């Protein structure tokens, strides 16, 4: 019996997905749990497995097309089974009006003479193993992935392999002859605005744009700012580094300590550890802190789960591992899902104060500025101490000003008494 395969829901904020690559063709046998298709969401590119064993009878949606959650992508069934056009139209239902079924067999014209990397084969007929993000990068750079040697598991070509080949090609490019005439480009007419390049709003960049537009236009947000004296945390860190480095095997940063303090404050002030879904505020028993990571393609937020229960070494190690995976395009869906609160830190860029945009369905986000020496009133005197501005942006539908202020006060109290959080 034919089974429909629809666009899966790969996160509670996902509304639609894009088919990046079919890993099986019509007529191919497939096992249950075997990767079937590569899907791009607003957060990640991931392989989706087949829900059943059988044969790919029809591929309805070709590569590079988007569909909403639940939309029919393919039909699976038993060997020798057939799906007529009438049956296919019935499976498509009302969506057939907007997205007509593609007659079998589906043929997607290649944009270049080089076959698409994920489904290409080497000269000897061997199937090419390449990650989805590496394949996309190779296409964008105009490189033939079938000639590359992969360094990933099982010889899989990774993003780093593609970047290495691109750099080697750039280095090997012959220099222009010294006697070659220098072409001159006429200056643009006065008053004309030239365009040097464009950045299309699609893929991850497009999804980020959509999510931020949605957040900005649908959430009644309020910002509360508090300055925190960081002298105790800075001094405590300096004193403990000699013990922490051999104990944890890495150097604890101020950001790690802020993450730990925030996680403990969320446990003590649970109104901020929440999401707003289906007209109800859901307070969560797990404190899952998302750490915003900037990529060329956009912003992604991997999650440190149960952060309040982890020591500084675990938080530091997981944070670094997640950031490296994000930059290499290797994050898994479960590493970016189910966050309950987000921290975004621009301190390393010299930003003192900013108001971030809430990451729905979460109800709050904390912006952390640069820790720097500032004048602070201590008693009746003025002292110069390291301090930081914390900007809490929250959804006023879910949280009122006083609970939000209590949360900031708790973060401030912890950071000014590091022994209360850094040793647990």
Sheet holding 29-30: strands in order across? 3-6, 72-77, 54-59, 29-30
Q: Please state, in angstroms and rounded to a whole number, the distance separating the CA atoms of residues 6 and 248.
A: 45
CA torsion 323-328-332-336 (nearest 10°) is: 40
Beta carbons of 290 and 303 less than 8 angstroms apart: yes
Angle at 199 between CA 197 and CA 200, to 5 degrees: 130
Beta carbons of 225 and 385 less than 8 angstroms apart: no
Q: Which of 287, 291, 260 is nearest to 274 (CA)?
A: 287
Give 3-state DSSP helix, strand, coil % of the chain, rounded to 5. Answer: 35, 25, 40
Beta strands in 176-288 (DSSP E): 221-229, 274-277, 280-283
Place of tokens 């090419």: 128
Q: Please state, in angstroms and rounded to a whole number, the distance separating the CA atoms of residues 42 and 22.
A: 19
Q: Please state, in angstroms and rounded to a whole number, the distance separating the CA atoms of residues 41 and 48.
A: 12
Q: How many other CB atoms are found less than 10 A from the CB of residue 229?
A: 18
CA distances from 321 to 131, 299, 372 (A): 19, 17, 27
Selected catalytic residue, list 12, 284, 396, 406: 396
Reply yes or no on whether 396 is catalytic.
yes
Beta carbons of 325 and 44 less than 8 angstroms apart: no
Phi, psi of 14 (to 5 degrees): -75, 135
Q: DSSP letter at 364? A: E
82 three-state secondary structure: coil
Catalytic residues, by residue number, are 396
């Amino acid at each position: 019996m034919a089974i429909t395969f629809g666009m899966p829901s790969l996160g509670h904020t996902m509304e639609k997905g894009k088919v990046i690559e079919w890993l099986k063709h019509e007529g191919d046998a497939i096992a249950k749990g075997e990767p079937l298709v590569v899907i791009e969401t607003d957060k990640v590119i991931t392989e989706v497995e087949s829900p059943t064993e059988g044969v790919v009878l029809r591929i309805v949606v070709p590569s590079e097309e988007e569909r909403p959650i639940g939309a029919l992508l393919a039909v699976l069934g038993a060997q020798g089974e057939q799906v007529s056009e009438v049956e296919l139209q019935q499976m498509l239902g009302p969506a057939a009006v907007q997205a007509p079924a593609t007659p079998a067999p589906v043929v997607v014209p290649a944009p270049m003479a080089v076959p698409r990397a994920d489904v290409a084969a080497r000269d000897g007929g061997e199937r090419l193993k390449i990650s989805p993000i590496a394949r996309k990068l190779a296409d964008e750079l105009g490189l033939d992935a079938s000639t590359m040697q992969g360094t990933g598991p099982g010889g899989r070509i990774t993003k780093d392999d593609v970047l290495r080949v691109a750099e080697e090609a750039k280095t090997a490019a012959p220099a222009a002859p010294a006697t070659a005439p220098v072409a001159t480009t006429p200056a643009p007419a006065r008053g004309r605005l030239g365009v040097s390049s464009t950045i299309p709003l699609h893929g991850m960049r497009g999804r980020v744009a959509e999510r931020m537009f949605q957040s900005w236009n649908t959430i009644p947000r309020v910002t509360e700012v508090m300055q925190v004296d960081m002298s105790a945390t800075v001094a405590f860190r300096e004193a403990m580094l000699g013990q922490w480095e051999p104990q944890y095997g890495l150097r604890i940063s101020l950001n790690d300590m802020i993450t730990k303090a925030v996680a403990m404050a969320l446990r003590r002030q649970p109104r901020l550890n929440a999401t707003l879904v289906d007209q109800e505020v859901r307070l969560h028993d797990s404190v899952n802190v998302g750490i915003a990571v900037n990529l060329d393609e956009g912003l992604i937020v991997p999650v440190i789960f149960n952060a309040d229960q982890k020591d500084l070494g675990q938080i530091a190690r997981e944070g670094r591992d997640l950031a490296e995976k994000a930059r290499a395009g290797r994050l898994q869906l479960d590493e970016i899902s189910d966050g309950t609160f987000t921290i975004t830190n621009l301190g390393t860029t010299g930003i003192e104060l900013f108001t971030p945009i809430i990451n729905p369905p979460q109800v709050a986000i904390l912006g952390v500025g640069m820790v720097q020496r500032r004048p602070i009133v201590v008693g009746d005197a003025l002292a110069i101490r390291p301090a930081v501005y914390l900007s809490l942006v929250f959804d006023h539908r879910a949280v009122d000003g006083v609970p939000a202020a209590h949360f900031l006060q708790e973060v401030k109290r912890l950071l000014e008494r590091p022994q209360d959080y850094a040793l647990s």
